[in-house]
């Protein structure tokens, strides 16, 4: 029975997919199994009794000496992983066994029943794991450089974006300036020409007044008045003056709207009760609304919203006035509010004439108006758009011709604070 067990163990040792080498106390080779034999250029018969370090010259190293010292002195099992220390490499005897370049070893002392000391050396082939690990490392490295590339691209994109924004801003300023010039040019033109006409009229009127001193009789004076078309002048002066006043008034309105533009930076962001602001605004524009529409309030639950309230009121006022203007006879204006996670929204919906699809992307342009000359400046929505941008919010429009229009303002409850730059180096 004992003999069978010994045989069983021998077969096991030969079949196991691990290298097993037995050394005596002086580290001379006593035995190795088939796993080692297959991978070693020297046959066991020749190696038997030879010092281990002579057959495996790679073992002639401080690392191996240390392993022996540990196993010998403290009777420890010393595991040597290829990642931690240079492995003991078995001599390759076929190209295929290159794969075995990476090995882990277990070195341990043991005593036979008669008390003699031996050492066991178990060799694991860890090349597959190691290769996988190497591939993983390479993949990680590639990923790292891809990440760096992406970061760089992102930075480039950010720069390009800010340049684009800058140039868009410049274009917007250019557009605004061109618009202002165009809008002001017209009233200034006719006020100027009216002034010239008035200048001529005043000269003629002065001639008549001066003549009072020198004329012989009233008939002569009447004749002069007829010659100088006094009646016509009389009628025209009032018209010219009223038209000029209108012109100047229009310029004044454009200038005050422009002032609003340039004052957007002013005032502070503060938590505000939007509903109160909406109610105040409704009161202010009530006169404009009451003959045109029934106003319906559908307020939701709103927290305090960090904003510049006067500016939000101004936006809502523009929307309400526009809504009233869009209604021909009498209609309905609905003022709705609500909350969506970290955002709130305000909607102004009317049952007015609607906006043609092709005009929808123009209504936010400065000076775009479909209202008759002298009625609208076309700055209301452009100003509103700017204000919403300043609030890190947005303004949307949905419109259907003949049905009505709905404007929606989206506002963050808290303004995004200036976040510190993330440099990605804190991994």
Ligand X SMILES: Nc1ncnc2c1ncn2[C@@H]1O[C@H](COP(=O)(O)OP(=O)(O)OP(=O)(O)O)[C@@H](O)[C@H]1O
Does the protein bind ligand X through residue 355 (CB under 6 A)?
yes
The pair of structure tokens assigned to 348 is: 């102004």
# chain residues binding ligand X, by CB under 6 A: 22
Which residue's CB is nearer to Mg ion, number 123 or number 379? 379
Q: What six digits make up the tokens of 363? A: 């209504």
What string marks each residue from 172 to 211 as x (binds ligand X by CB under 6 A) or -? ----------------------------------------
Helix (H) or strand (E) run with residue 108 in it: strand 103-111
The reply on whether position 104 binds ligand X by CB under 6 A is no
Interatomic CA distance for residues 369 and 288, integer angstroms: 19
Any contact of residue 378 with ligand X (CB under 6 A)?
Answer: yes
CA separation for the pair 286, 326 (Å, rounded) = 16
Asked if residue 380 binds Mg ion (CB under 5 A), the reply is: yes
DSSP string for residues in 54-98:
HHSGGG-SHHHHHHHHHHHHH---EEE-TTTSPPPPPPP-SGGGG
Kindly give the interhelix angle for 230-262 and 127-214, rounded to the nearest 10 degrees.
Answer: 160
CB of 322 to Mg ion, least distance (A): 4
Q: Return the one option of ligand X, Mg ion, none that residue 331 interacts with (CB less than 5 to 8 A, by type).
A: none
Q: What would the x/- binding string for ligand X be over residues 2 to 41, using CB under 6 A? A: ----------------------------------------
Task: Give the residue among 320, 395, 392, 403 at the shortest CA–CA distance from 364.
Answer: 395
CB 334 within 8 Å of CB 346: no
Tell me how far, at minimum, the Cβ of 414 lies from Mg ion, in Å.
Answer: 30
Q: Which of 352, 388, 393, 411 binds ligand X (CB under 6 A)?
A: 352
Q: 197: buried, middle or exposed (CB in 10 Å: 19+, 13-18, 0-12)?
A: middle
Beta-sheet pairing, 331-340 with 404-412: unpaired
Among 125, 380, 388, 411, binds ligand X (CB under 6 A): 380
Residue that is written with structure tokens 């997919």 in the block = 17
> Residue from 376, 390, 408, 415 that binds ligand X (CB under 6 A)?
376
- Does 322 engage in binding with Mg ion (CB under 5 A)? yes
252 is a site residue for ligand X (CB under 6 A): no
Binds ligand X by CB under 6 A, chosen from 371, 374, 389, 401:
371
Q: Note whether 313 binds ligand X by CB under 6 A.
A: no
Residues lying near ligand X in the complex (CB under 6 A) are found at 318, 322-323, 326, 350, 352-355, 363, 368-371, 376-382, 405
Residues lying near Mg ion in the complex (CB under 5 A) are found at 322, 380
């Amino acid at each position: 029975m004992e003999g069978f067990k010994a045989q069983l163990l021998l077969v096991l040792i030969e079949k196991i997919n691990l290298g097993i080498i037995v050394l005596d106390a002086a580290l001379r080779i006593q035995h190795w199994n088939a796993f080692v034999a297959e991978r070693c250029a020297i046959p066991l018969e020749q190696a038997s009794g030879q010092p281990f370090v002579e057959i495996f010259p790679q073992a002639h190293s401080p690392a191996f000496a240390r392993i022996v010292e540990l196993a010998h002195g403290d009777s420890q099992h010393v595991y040597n992983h290829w990642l931690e220390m240079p492995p003991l490499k078995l001599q390759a005897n076929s190209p295929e066994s290159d794969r075995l370049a990476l090995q882990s070893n277990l070195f341990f002392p043991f005593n036979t029943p008669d008390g003699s000391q031996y050492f066991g050396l178990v060799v694991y082939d860890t090349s597959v794991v190691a290769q996988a690990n190497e591939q993983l490392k390479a993949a990680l490295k590639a990923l790292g450089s891809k990440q760096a590339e992406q970061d760089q691209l992102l930075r480039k994109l950010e720069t390009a974006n800010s340049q684009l924004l800058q140039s868009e801003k410049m274009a917007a300023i250019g557009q605004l300036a061109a618009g202002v010039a165009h809008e002001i040019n017209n009233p200034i033109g006719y006020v100027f020409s009216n002034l010239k006409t008035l200048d001529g009229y005043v000269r003629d009127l002065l001639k008549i007044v001066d003549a009072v001193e020198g004329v012989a009789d009233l008939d002569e004076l009447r004749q002069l008045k007829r010659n100088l078309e006094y009646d016509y002048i009389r009628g025209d002066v009032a018209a010219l003056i009223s038209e000029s006043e209108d012109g100047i008034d229009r310029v004044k309105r454009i200038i005050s709207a422009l002032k609003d533009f340039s004052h957007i930076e002013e005032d502070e962001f503060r938590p505000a009760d939007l509903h109160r602001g909406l109610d105040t605004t409704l009161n202010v524009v009530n006169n404009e609304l009451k003959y045109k529409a029934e106003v319906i309030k559908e307020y939701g639950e709103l927290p305090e919203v960090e904003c510049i309230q006067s500016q939000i009121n101004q936006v809502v006022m523009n929307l309400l006035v526009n809504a009233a203007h869009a209604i021909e006879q009498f209609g309905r204006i609905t003022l709705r509010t609500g909350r969506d996670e970290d955002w709130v929204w305000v909607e102004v919906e009317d049952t007015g004439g609607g906006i043609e699809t092709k005009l929808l992307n123009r209504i936010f342009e400065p000076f775009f108006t479909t209202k008759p000359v002298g009625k609208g400046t076309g700055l209301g929505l452009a100003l509103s758009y700017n204000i919403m941008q300043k609030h890190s919010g947005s303004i949307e429009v949905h419109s259907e011709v003949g049905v009505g229009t709905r404007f929606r303002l989206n506002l963050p409850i808290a303004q995004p604070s200036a976040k510190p730059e993330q440099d990605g180096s804190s991994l």
